[in-house]
Amino acid sequence: MPLLTNLTADRKTFVTHLECSMTGEIYPADEVHGLSRVGRPLLVRYDLPAIAAHLDRAALQSRETDLWRWRELLPVRHVRDIVSLGEIETPLVPLPVSGGANVLVKDEGRLPTGSFKARGLVMAVAMAKALGIKRIAMPTNGNAGAALAAYATRCGIETVVFCPDDTPDINVQEIALQGARVWRVNGLIDDCGAIVGEGAKQGRWFDFSTLKEPYRIEGKKTMGLELASQFGWELPDAIFYPTGGGTGLIGMWKAFDELEALGWIGPKRPKMFAIQAAGCAPIVKAFDDGTEHAERWENAQTVAAGIRVPRAVGDFLILRAVRASGGKALAVEDAAIEAAVQQAARQDGLLLCPEGGATLAAYHYALSAGLVSAADRVVLFNCATGLKYPMADDSRTLDRHAPIDYDAL
């Protein structure tokens, strides 16, 4: 099918306004916004009764299963502003051996640029295009920068990307190849973010840091919309989500509320598990301490670079969702992450990224601790293709000129 077959008319969506996630203060739609006046993320609000009157589940399910099938629940008003590289609905892949009979992986590595960052950035870039933004800057641990570069280049927006100096070469190279100016910085992602923020204050670019513009959440929430549809308009019993900035977890929680308001799902929610690495676990500490905000995690280190985020501006939204769901924030050691990646690959043939491996390791812990049962329907998020990450070389050599012992092969 051709791209964007769902979008046949240049019609408006149902956005009404934006709202501060902490105070509820209302901001007008169709204007450029960053954070709210109190420095917290803005949430897009919709006329949900009007959507319910306009669209039912049957009509929705007759559409092609791409991200843009959800257009009434997305902020882009006009088809002319859509930016796309082919955002598919990602599959649920069973892990019968390494996970269990009821464990599914939502494999986000199938998306453009190979990660779930495509969901958020396609929406944010489309809205930047619609609002006339010409230059964007972003801090990244890799995959978000790649998605930004790809989509911004697609529609002619200039991009500047800053990443920690130990960001994997493959990520840095793809960001540059796809048209961004990329700088390695001797620090962590929040150090990169400070550079972006200062440049934004000077008027050099628009700050596209996680949750510092309103629309990345709207792209990421499509993960929750897809899960509801894929599970027959029920929801799984538990979701294990690799959590750095937490945009996807926040977005899915928002999606579930919107679907319930439409009458498409009931009040039941999954237990939401926010998964972090033991070497960078500010959300886990805040959860365990019973606080609503997380302190910066000093000397953050982990093999799962995508969740190496020492401070998240949406910390209170992550923690509220996890607590309201009856879930938990969990930290896993790097050794367990690496073992889980090997386990899924060798036992089930699915190559997880390290952050995806963290969710499998956390699931095993949660199962042993009685936080979930083997009968629970569980979704693990693999947030990127494992092909972007270093792998052990277990190959052997064979001299074709010497006698070959075929039994040994």
Dig out the tokens for 279 from the structure.
Answer: 């070497």
Which residue type, as a one-letter code, is found at position 68?
W
CA 184 to chain centre: 23
SS3 state at 315: helix
199 Cβ partners below 8 Å, 6+ apart? 137, 160, 205, 207
Instruction: List CB contacts of 317: < 8 A, sequence separation 6 or more.
Output: 21, 41, 246, 250, 253
Angstrom distance (rounded) from CA 79 to CA 59: 19
HSE value, Cβ hemisphere, 13 Å, CA-based, for 287? 25
Q: What is the mean pLDDT of each run of 10 residues along the chain (409 residues)?
A: 47 86 96 95 97 95 95 95 96 98 98 97 97 97 95 97 93 95 95 96 96 96 98 97 96 98 97 98 97 95 93 95 98 98 98 97 98 98 94 91 94
> What pLDDT was estimated at residue 12?
58
State residue 138 phi and psi, 5-degree precision: -150, 140
3-state percent breakdown (helix, strand, coil) of the chain, nearest 5: 40, 15, 45
Give pLDDT tens digits for 112-153.
999 999 999 999 999 999 999 999 999 999 999 999 999 999
How crowded is the C-beta side of 300, counted as CA atoms within 13 Å? 27
Instruction: Record the tokens describing residue 382, joined without a space.
Output: 């693999």
For position 397, what pLDDT does the model report? 94
Q: In Å, how far are 160, 169, 244, 247 from 141, measured between CA atoms?
A: 14, 11, 10, 15
**Domains parsed from the chain with CATH numbers:** 93-99+103-113+215-388 (3.40.50.1100), 117-207 (3.40.50.1100)
**Axis-axis angle for helices 143-155, 117-130 (nearest 10):** 30
Beta bridge partners of 11: none
Q: Under 8 Å CB-to-CB from 11, ≥6 apart: which residues?
A: 79
Q: Which residue has tokens 């996890």?
A: 322
Task: Give the pLDDT score at 70.
Answer: 97
**What span, in angstroms and rounded, lies between the C-alpha atoms of 331 and 247?**
18
> Are the beta carbons of 292 and 324 closer than 8 angstroms?
no
Whole-structure pTM value: 0.93
Q: What is the tens place of the pLDDT at every residue in 382-407?
A: 999 999 998 889 899 999 999 999 99
Beta bridge pairs of residue 26: 19
Residues whose CB falls within 8 Å of the CB of residue 122, separated by 6 or more in sequence, listed in order:
67, 83, 84, 85, 87, 112, 147, 151, 219
Distance CA(327)–CA(239), nearest Å, equals 9
What is the token pair recorded at 92?
A: 């649920």
Closest CA to 306 of 231, 230, 245: 245
Residue 193, classed as helix, strand or coil, is helix
**C-alpha to C-alpha distance for 355 and 280, rounded to whole angstroms:** 12
For residues 259 and 250, the answer to whether their CB atoms sit within 8 Å is no
Instruction: Supply the pLDDT for residue 7.
Output: 54
**Phi, psi torsion values for 393, nearest 5 degrees:** -95, 100
* Each residue's pLDDT tens digit, 366-380: 999 999 999 999 999
Distances (CA, A) of 367 to 164, 285, 360: 35, 21, 11
